[in-house]
Amino acid sequence: MSTTKDHSGGLARRSVTPFEVMAQSVANIAPSAVIAFSPMFMAMSAGNGAWFSFAIGMAITLIIAQSVISIARRRAGAGSLYSLIRPAVGPMGTFITGWGLFVGAIAISAGSLAGAGFFASEFLKGFGITAFESPTGQIILDAALLALAIWTTISSVRIAARVSAALEVLSIIVIVIVLVIVLVQSGNFIDMEQLTLNGATVDGVVAAVVLAILGFVGFESAAALGEEADDPFRAIPRAIRGGAIFAGVLYVFATYVQVAAFEGGAAGLAGASSPMEDLAAQYGLQGFVPLLNLGFTASFVAVVMAAITVAGRLMFSWGNEGIIGARFGKAHPKFRTPSYAIWWTIPMVFIPTFYEIVIVQEIPLNVTTYIDTIGVFGYMLSYVIVCLFAPVFLRKVKDKQVVMTQVLGLLGAAALAYVYWANVAVTAEPFNQLPIWFAALLVVGIGFFIAVRARNPKAADAAGTFADENPEKI
């Protein structure tokens, strides 16, 4: 491949600042949404070791991130991991990586849309507006929020990144203010029960690590801005690592404070219905509840935007390579975003949410949990492939860090395999069916690529080639 060829395809090449690149990763991680519920579920198994499980999860995520970064320093493209891994795995492996990422982005966007609608209705309910509590009302809010997310994402990649950052920062500020106030009021700054992991078991802490790792999914999404980022070979690796560290520190702090401040400690948190609301009520901060609900709404909307950004740019790459219609590979002449591809994400994101909320009449936050879990499997598949094959890439380019990357990659892949196994081993309905749904979607993707290869071998062979290489690393 030429190192000087412009692979932007009309995108706003080299226009996104390092801060905006970082915003993409942080928005996709959605730390505010994770803080809302994950500490509660982790306390159920890890007890006073819940914060420690998050620390372990951050360490594992950074190990996985190292495999991604080792390639991102040398290669960048609109297809994120799909574009990065091509030299190491060839066309089929590349497409499977991209398909896993695509399923992950679409599912996370759909699940987060349900979460956004739920918290938006809770926010409105605080002002006496109850019309949106019904399934019909929820889906109307979902449609409105999706329209807002699509419009912003199409209008400008920089505006989308800034709006995502603003929404997530708003939510984080409100959450941190509440956490600091309740910690001060509790007086339990040094919680020896937590610091000594009192009562925590190895099995419980390890089980909570599974949830912790899930809380970091999307940390690599800055790589989807490979064509639009200014100085991508530096900005993207920094955003990937920085986003994971930022989220991890926030998770550890939030979990520690929730356990320290909750009446009854870890057991009290584990029995909560809505941890942040319950904490606010416990310490007389009911006035913050509408702001918390607004913040959670903002966080989920930021996830929808960030995930659509990834999915749209994957389809944009496929369009430029001939894997799908050429029109998908055209950027908007004014906005310079993959508008056609982004429009196509609307039914993919909205239909699963509509079906679960209106047809099945499922509780919105359950919809978030179920659909997001399928999405997490997609991301994990992509991460495993990158962890296992990053050393192959480095060996081809004669990089000196092959051995270290191989060791870390194996550790990362093993951790992800354990997380997947832990989910497959679940027998409760419908969680035991979610891996099957993901496997079915994976088969559909592989079948599609086989059909492309039979119909147009040249296009299939081009999978993952719509990317740039770092001329300083050649």
275-282 vs 31-46: helix axis angle to the nearest 10? 80
pLDDT of 1-39, one tens digit each?
Answer: 334 455 567 898 889 999 999 999 998 998 998 998 899
318, pLDDT greater than 80: yes
Bridge partners (DSSP) of residue 229 are: 16
The pLDDT of residue 422 = 82
Is 388 within a domain? yes
**Residue 253 CA from chain centroid, whole number:** 20
Q: Does residue 354 surpass a pLDDT of 70?
A: yes
SS3 sequence, 273-338?
Answer: CCHHHHHHHHCCCHHHHHHHHHHHHHHHHHHHHHHHHHHHHHHHHHHHHCCCCHHHHCCCCCCCCC
Pick from 458, 465, 468, 473: which is nearest to 82 by CA?
A: 465
Does residue 2 fall inside a structural domain?
A: no
pLDDT at position 5 = 53
In a domain, 4, yes or no: no
Residue 174: what pLDDT? 92
Distance, first Cα to last Cα, the chain: 11
Tabulate helix, strand, coil % of the chain (nearest 5).
75, 0, 20
Query: In the numeric block, which tokens belong to residue 339?
Result: 């508008």
What SS3 class is residue 216? coil
Give pLDDT, residue 63: 96
Asked if 365 and 118 count as a contact pair (C-beta separation under 8 A), the reply is yes
Structural contact between residues 280 and 292, judged by C-beta atoms closer than 8 angstroms: yes
Structure tokens at 357: 């909320």
Is the model's pLDDT at 316 over the cut of 80? yes
Tokens of 220: 């690599």
Choose among 108, 134, 121: nearest CA to 358: 134
Apex 21 CA angle, 17 and 26, nearest 5: 140
Of 429, 46, 39, the closest CA to residue 272 belongs to 39
> Rounded distance, CA 191 to CA 259, Å?
9
pLDDT > 90: percent of the chain: 79
Number of domains comprising the chain:
1
Q: What is the mean pLDDT of residues 196-212?
A: 91
Here the CATH number for the domain that contains residue 254 is: 1.20.1740.10
319-343: per-residue pLDDT in tens? Answer: 999 999 999 999 999 999 999 999 9
Q: How many CB atoms lie within 10 A of CB 472?
A: 9
The pLDDT tens digits of the residues spanning 260-285 come to 999 999 999 999 888 999 999 999 99
Who's near 93: CB < 8 A, 6+ residues apart? 85, 385, 389
**How far is Cα 298 from Cα 188, in angstroms, rounded to an integer?**
30
Q: What confidence score (pLDDT) does residue 2 get?
A: 36
pLDDT tens-digit series, residues 103-130: 999 999 999 999 999 999 999 998 999 9
Average pLDDT, the chain: 92
Q: Is 468 contained in some domain?
A: no
- Note the pLDDT tens digit of each residue in 126-184: 899 999 999 999 999 999 999 999 999 999 988 988 898 888 888 999 999 999 999 99
Which whole number is the average pLDDT over 390-410?
93
- Greatest mean pLDDT among 26-30, 60-64, 372-376 lies in 60-64
> Residue 290: inside a domain, yes or no?
yes
What span, in angstroms and rounded, lies between the C-alpha atoms of 101 and 84?
Answer: 12
Radius of gyration in angstroms for the set of CA atoms belonging to the chain, rounded to a whole number:
21
Distance CA(245)–CA(225), nearest Å, equals 20
pLDDT, position 6:
57
Q: Does a structural domain hold residue 367?
A: yes
Range of the domain at 390: 18-463
Give me the mean pLDDT over the 419-435 stretch. 84
Q: Which of 36-45, 81-90, 92-101, 408-417 has the lowest mean pLDDT?
A: 36-45
Q: Would residue 391 count as lying in a domain?
A: yes
Residue at 10 is within a domain: no
Contacts of 204 (CB under 8 A, 6+ apart): 45, 46, 47, 49
- Rounded to whole angstroms, the Cα distance separating 63 from 209 reads 14
